[in-house]
Amino acid sequence: MAGNADAPRIGVLALQGDVREHERVLHGLGADVIRVRRPEELATVSGLVIPGGESTVIDKLSRQFGLQQPMRDAIAGGMPVLGTCAGLIMLADCVRDGINGQQSFGGLDVVVRRNAFGRQLESFEAELDVAVLGAPPVRATFIRGPVVESVGTSATVLASLPDGRVVAVGQGHLVGLSFHPELTGEYRFHERLLRVAAVHHSVTR
């Protein structure tokens, strides 16, 4: 993709969080990558990653930078988005245990609970079967991640822990993950984002 004028540009929302890790994955896949902090930068991309971090900070800064409504418009307009950890929270239509006044971008017909897996010291890894990716299983790292408490009729469960807790969901052009694939060498979610963004790019040109 690199150097191809017809390739889609992928943004990484760079208000806060593990931006560099996602950039590294995307560059490794040959993507044209840009950090997105302002509406004019968002307008140049055909797909976006919302990284892990602090959802409360991402929410606050998105409003300060005038990005909240453009993000909502882009999601409603069909822009492919991959949200990991805090990114899942930002994509959820409903957030539980948020701080007073916390808002999300929305788009995923799900209810998520912040910090459902406890403190950072309680981080863990698990192998997940994700049918849309096929074999082998996904090695997932959970760090103070959210959990999906309920899934509406518009969204689809992509992966669950053995105890039944839902940790990956999809809805059309959106994917939300409770975990951090960028930390374990699991690049298939990013590859999928690039494929969907390429279609979106060709349709919207």
Reply yes or no on whether 180 is catalytic.
Answer: yes
Would you state the pLDDT for residue 2?
Answer: 44
Q: What is the pLDDT of residues 4-33, one digit of tens each?
A: 556 789 999 999 999 999 999 999 999 999
pLDDT band at 122, cuts 50/70/90? low
Read off the pLDDT of residues 152-182 as tens digits, 9 standing for 90 and up.
Answer: 999 999 999 999 999 999 999 999 999 999 9
Query: Which of 22, 23, 41, 85 is flagged as catalytic?
Result: 85
Average pLDDT of the residues of the chain: 92
148: which strand partners? 112, 166
Q: What is the pLDDT of residue 146?
A: 93
Q: Is there a catalytic annotation at residue 85? A: yes
94 flagged as catalytic: no
Residue of 22, 182, 190, 201 marked catalytic: 182
Structure tokens at 205: 């040109």
Q: Note the CATH architecture for domain 9-204.
A: 3-Layer(aba) Sandwich (3.40)
Domain range annotation of the chain: 9-204
- Helix, strand or coil, per DSSP, at residue 68: helix
Identify the active-site residue in 21, 22, 23, 180.
180
Direct distance between the N- and C-terminal alpha carbons of the chain, in angstroms, rounded to an integer:
17
Residue 144 confidence class, pLDDT cut points 50, 70, 90 = confident
- Measured CA to CA in angstroms, residue 9 lies from 58, 100, 179 at distances of 22, 35, 24
pTM for this entry: 0.93
Span 42-63, pLDDT tens digits = 999 999 999 999 999 999 999 9
**68-77, 84-93, 125-134: least confident range:** 125-134
Determine phi and psi for 108, rounding to 5 degrees: -95, 125
Residue 148 near residue 166 (C-beta atoms within 8 A) = yes
- Residue 121 is predicted with a pLDDT of 47
The confidence score (pLDDT) of residue 124 equals 86
Please identify which residue in the block is written with the tokens 């406890």.
Answer: 118
Residue 3 pLDDT > 90: no
Decide: residue 79, CB within 10 A, 0-12 exposed, 13-18 middle, 19+ buried.
Answer: buried
User: Which class for 114: exposed (0-12), middle (13-18), buried (19 or more C-beta within 10 A)?
Assistant: buried
- CB burial string 116-130: b at 16+ within 10 A, e below: bbeeeeeeeeeebeb
